[in-house]
Structure 1
Amino acid sequence: MAVCGAGTCDTNLAAMAYRVGYRIADVGALLVCGGLGGVMEAACHGATDAGGMTLGLLPGPDSTSANPFVHIAVPTGLGHARNVLIVQTAQVVIAIGGAYGTLSEIALARKCNRRVIGLHTWDIGHDEQGRPHVIAADQPEEAVRLAQQHIT
């Protein structure tokens, strides 16, 4: 499961991201993210505390930019283009808050036929069948439960 969100965030979003990460690890899934701070770090922290594994696909060429809770750091050197790798690596994406970088990950996920679960993030309408592009969740545990429904 991928977690996407801003590299800086307030304590409320960080707490939600932590709970998402914890629950991802608790259900036995690998957490994939951009490997930096903010939402990504909080989610990785939660996953680590729950005994899970985290994979950080970093934008730059240096693995030392990874947050301290990334177990496997991959320095891509691709900048924002690494967002394609994040969504392609995961079967489902959980977006938490975020700005334009998160919006790009949501759009790429939908383009790659990945479902997106959202916590306080972008609402980008519905597909041709009337399904929301971003499935809204109110709580972190609900987000992971909804994400599990889209894993094969």
Structure 2
Amino acid sequence: MVRKRQILVIGNNTNGCTPKHEKIAYDIGSEIAKSDSVLISGGLGGVMEASSHGAHDANGFTVGIIPQDDASFANEFCDVVIPTGMGLTRDYLNALSADGVIIVGGGSGTLSEACASYMHKKPMVAIKNLGSSVDPYIDGYIDHRKNIKIIGVDTAQEAVKKILELITA
């Protein structure tokens, strides 16, 4: 049996998540499911919930790695919930669980997950022009080490196609 690809979707939580973020995240979740990959997220609201919802509606499989110690905090579209009780340090679990990362907007928490992914050289793709904390690094690097370039794309379909290419490269 071949292990399925695991794609982490990160971005705005409920606070700051716009209908545009939700639509893009939902479509990304759907595309991940169609690619027969597992969607991983932080398991809460906003982009995490919208992407999980999209994957769920496309008969995909979703994992939510939540910061709380109680699974009831996870959104309803998580097939598997991993309650860590670790607070924000769970960002490292998210990053290390992923074969690749797709970024949809986001603030400091998203930047933290992107940095954790960057340090572990996880391929990353970001939707451009969403006004996120990651925007300054799109099509470039987070620091002088040039570990991994964050590739900018315009659509959900491009994001999933590109992350799959980067994972298998």
Report how many residues are paired: 152
Match runs of 1:1-152 below 5 Å: 1-8=7-14, 9-119=17-127, 120=130, 121=132, 122=134, 123-124=136-137, 125-126=140-141, 133-152=149-168
Q: Percent identity?
A: 38
- Deviation at 1:129? 8.8
Q: How far is the alpha carbon of 1:67 from its aligned partner?
A: 0.3
What is the DSSP-based 3-state SS (H/G/I as helix, E as strand, rest coil) of the residue aligned with 2:166? coil
Q: Is the 8 A contact 1:91 1:150 kept in 2?
A: no
Distance 1:142 1:106 in 2: 19
Gaps of 5+ in 1: none
Deviation at 1:133, TM superposition (A): 2.8
Displaced runs of 4 or more, over 4 A: 127-132
Q: What root-mean-square deviation, in Å, do the aligned CA atoms of Structure 1 and Structure 2 show?
A: 1.7
Query: 1:65 & 1:81 partners in 2: Cα distance?
Result: 17
Retained in 1: the 8 A contact 2:11–2:105?
yes
| TM-score normalised by structure 2 residue count | 0.85
Q: Within 2, Cα distance between the matches of 1:82 and 1:16?
A: 24
